Structures are given as structure tokens and as C-alpha cells.
Structure 1
Amino acid sequence: MTTNTTIGSNGTNVSQALLDTMNGTSSTRSATSAASSTGSTSGTSATDLQNTFLQLLVAQLKNQDPTNPMDSSQMTSQLAQINTVSGISQLNTTLSSLATQMSAGQQSQAALLIGSTVLAPGSSVTVASGKATSFGVQLANPVGDLQVVVKNSAGTIVNTIDLGKQSAGTIPVGWTPTDSAGNALPNGNYTISAVGTINGQQATATTLAGATVQSVVLQSNGTPGLVLSNGTTVGLTGVAAIL
């Protein structure tokens, strides 16, 4: 059963469902009753609540006693809050749209890298016909001395490449695959590790493996991933250099 509330001295009736919506107590009443009482104003979105507030505010102003006006400051404050919520909702929609557009743009950029050789975090180097696949080192800080240790598949150190003093950033390494005695290394897979020192203290050094970009996939987080020839998949931010 729908009840009405009188506003002002003129005796204008306003539905209880409308008041319940304003007071946040409409959840205790049936949706059917609220819909029949308030018509198009029974929704719960920010726009619906804003329209409901406006209707109630106008009804209050039209029917108040001029000699004893009703205080509408609280209602006005609540209306401003509804406007804020509505604005945030629209902002979220806009940001979601921008994120979708950016993701599409990143996929297009990633597709341009197909066939390119890139450096990404990794420690594998392949030697074939006297040549080694590209690799490098990434430094967070400048170092006084940087060395790259090369090990064969058995874990034996076959060479140590001394790169000397290096600045922070990405350092591509060009290397002819030989052992410490200068003999050519046999074909196979090798691993690299980097050690940097700053005033005698060990510094952070990340090894980078070179590989060819074969394809682009959509990762679980919605960003494009580059499928590399060494069997790994990295995001665009994981690419340290494009060779």
C-alpha cells in the first residue's frame, strides 16, 4: 500500500516511495510499489536519483509556508553529492574508453615489431656457425667494471667478457663466440650472467637475450605480448632495445 506525505501548508502530497528514495530507505519496500508511485523516477542510477531530488526539492519550494520556510540546505547538499557521483561515473566511462583505445594503439605498435630483433630479459645465447645470438646487459646504476660470464650446457665457465666501465642503461654486447683461450666455441646453447661493481661493491646487472619477434598476442592483463623466437613472451615494456 502506498502512503503519501504532506509538504507545506497547502497540503500537497508527495509519495512515501519518493521520500524513501531520498532517505535511502526504499530497499525495504517492493520495487513494484516504488515504480507505481514514482514512475520514471524510481531508478537507482545517479541520474535517476538526481531527478528524484529535483522533483522533491521543487515540490518543497512550491508548497512551503513563506512565514516558516522549510530548510532545504541538507537536500541541496545531497543533490551536490549526487552530481559528484554522476561526474565520477562519467569520468570512469571516459577513462575506460581511453584505456581501450590505448590498448588498440599498443597492439598496432607491437605488430610493427614482427620480424625485428629485440633485447629482453633472458640469459640464453645460441652459438651456430661461429656466430652468437645477440645479447646485452641492463644496468640500474653506472658501474666501474662490468663482466659477463659465459657458461656451456654443462655449467662450466668457458669465457669471461670484461666490458670495463659502463654507464647506467642498456648495453648491447657484440661478441665473437670464443673461449678464454681464443678458441672458437662449438655450436650449442650457452648461458650468460653479468656482474658489475661500484667501488668494490656488487651492483645490480640484468642480462638481456636477443630474439626475433614472431607474433603478437593479447596477454591476460589486456596488454599486447611479443612472442619471441626463443620461446618466451614479453610485454612492450619488457623490451630493452630494438636492434
Structure 2
Amino acid sequence: MIDATAYLNNVNQNSTPKPPSKELGKDAFLKLFVTQLKNQDPVNPMQEKEQLAQLAQFSSLERLTNISKAMEGLAKTVNTVVGLTSTGYIGKNVMAKGISVSKNGEEATSASISLPASCKSVYVDIFDKKGALVRSVEMGSRDAGKFDFKWDGKDKDGKAAADGQYRIAVRAEAPSGKKVLAEIEVSGKVKAVNTAGGQHVLELEDGRKVLLSNVTRVVA
């Protein structure tokens, strides 16, 4: 699960105008060809082979332009269909790639951690919004595969942490001492669906946001 709010802000801040295209469009190509015919030397006119070659280029350009427009239309249609079907996620619990968890009262959202190899030690670190370490949970040795993790909502002193959103990170080490990169999935219940920057964003009940493309499964 990514920080979709930061993603949306990044999209707005970086939406700079595109520079003019340097490619020759089919209309410009045709005008150039006609101009060449009008201004050719009567004594040394353009050869038939050269005319055919340029017309062949024009034909290829037109086909590519039509294909490009068709693909753009198809992409818009697919994006619209995905947007409509994504409303079916509302009210459902989902698992998605990400690092954000949420705490409310005595309850904290769960996570699923996947290890590509066996590890002699695994730690799950919990950080607050400012990046300060709240707690480090020792998970012991773990075999390759997935295991569930649910924070009890307490800090390193055993006191209840404040309600809100937190981020988790996994420190895993193989028997050889090599660091192992874990994949994290976090859970949440979908409240609404939004679209921004061509991406479909699922808004969760606790305020977190997740890209639809990061959803890995829907949980009953």
C-alpha cells in the first residue's frame, strides 16, 4: 500500500506542460509533399520511384496514426470499465502491497509478511508519521513463506500508542548473515473509490489510501 495522498500531490506538482512534438504529422507530411511537387524543377522533375517512396511513407504514417488513436481510445475505455468495476470493492476488506497500518483504540490493522528465504532473525519496526521508532517487535526465526503480523498498539515502554496511522518495516537476516528483503501486505476496509492522474485510488475507512493496482486479494 502506498501513500496515495503523497502520490496525488506529486501528480499535481509535476503536471508541467509537454513540449511541442518534433514528429511530422500526416497533415504536415502531405502539405510538404504537395509543396515539393509544386516547386520541383520542370527540367529535372521528381522521379516516379521517389514519389512512390514518399507516398509509401505517408501511407505508413497514416496507418500508424490511426493505430495510435485506436489504442488511445481502447486505453480510455478500459480505464473507464476498471473505474466502474472498482466500485465493487466498497465495503470489502482488501489486502494490498504497502507499509501503512492504522490504530484505533485497542485495535490495529493487520499485515501479512512474505519472506523469500528462511531467516534466523526477523524484526518488525513500527514508525510514527514523523519517522520516529515507536516499537521494534522480535519475530524470531522464520521459514520462507508468509506469516501474519498484528501490532498490539503499544510502544517500546509498553504504553498504548496514540491513535492514527503508522508505518512498518521488516528487518530480516538469513543464516549466512545476508539481509533478506521482505514483501509486506496490509489490510483495510474500502470506503470509497476515487480517480486521479489516470489511477484508481481506494479510500479506506481509517483514512488510508491505496492504489487499486496494489490490491492483491479481497478478504471476506
Equivalent residue for 1:149?
124
Task: For residues 113-171 of structure 1, give each alpha carbon's deviation from its aligned partner in whole angstroms, at most 9, with x where no partner exists.
Answer: 11122233123242644x432212245x334356342558684536423471123xxx3
Distance 1:89 1:151 in 2: 51
Q: Kindly tell me: are residues 125 and 193 of structure 1, through their superposed partners in 2, closer, same or farther at Cα, counting changes over 3 Å?
A: farther
The equivalent position to 2:56 in structure 1, one of 64, 80, 86, is 80
CA, structure 1 residues 49+145, in 2 after alignment: closer, same or farther (shift >3 Å)?
Answer: farther
2:195 match: 218
What secondary structure is seen at the aligned counterpart in 1 of 2:138? strand
TM-superposed deviation, 1:235: 1.6
The corresponding residue for 2:148 is: 173
Q: Using a 3 Å threshold, how does the CA distance of structure 1 residues 117 and 185 change in structure 2: closer, same or farther? A: farther
Name the counterpart of 1:89: 65
> What's 2:211 paired with?
235
**Separation in 2, partners of 1:146, 1:238:** 28
Q: CA contact under 8 A between 1:50 and 1:83: conserved in structure 2? A: no
1:45 aligns with one of 11, 20, 27:
27
> Hey, what's the Cα distance between the residues in 1 that align with 2:80 and 2:67?
20
After superposition, residues 1-243 of structure 1 pair within 5 angstroms as: 45=27, 71-120=47-96, 121-126=98-103, 128-129=105-106, 131-139=107-115, 141-145=116-120, 147-149=122-124, 151=126, 155-157=133-135, 159-162=137-140, 164-167=142-145, 171=146, 173=148, 175=150, 177=152, 186=160, 188-189=162-163, 192-198=168-174, 199-220=176-197, 222-243=198-219
Q: What CA distance in whole angstroms lies between the structure 2 residues aligned with 1:49 and 1:118?
A: 56
Higher CA-based Rg: 1
- 2: CA distance between counterparts of 1:70 and 1:155? 76
Q: Which residue in 2 is equivalent to 1:10?
A: none
Please give the per-residue CA displacement for 1:82-140, whole angstroms capped at 9, x wherever unaligned: 001101110111101110111012112321111122233123242644x432212245x
Change (3 A) 1:100 1:242: same
Gapped runs of 5+ residues in structure 1? 1-43, 57-68
- 1:52 is displaced (CA, Å) by 5.7
Question: Hey, what's the Cα distance between the residues in 2 that align with 1:51 and 1:74?
Answer: 11
For residues 162 and 104 of structure 1, do their structure 2 counterparts lie closer, same or farther at Cα, with a shift above 3 Å needed? farther
- Cα deviation, 1:172-222, whole Å, max 9, x if unaligned, reads 61548387xxxx9747546533122233211222443322111111112x1
2:21 paired residue number: none
Query: 2: CA distance between counterparts of 1:73 and 1:90?
Result: 26
TM-score by length of 1: 0.58
**Residue in 1 aligned with 2:10?**
none
With the length of structure 2 as denominator, give the TM-score of the two structures: 0.63
Residues 101/163 of structure 1: CA separation in 2 closer, same or farther (3 Å cut): farther
SS of equivalent residue, structure 1 residue 240: strand
Structure possessing the higher relative contact order (Cα contacts under 8 Å, 6 or more residues apart): 2
State the distance in 1 between where 2:57 and 2:195 align.
39
Alpha-carbon offset, residue 230 of structure 1: 3.4
Structure 2 unmatched ranges of 5 or more: 1-25, 38-44
Aligned length: 180
Compute the RMSD of aligned alpha carbons. 4.0
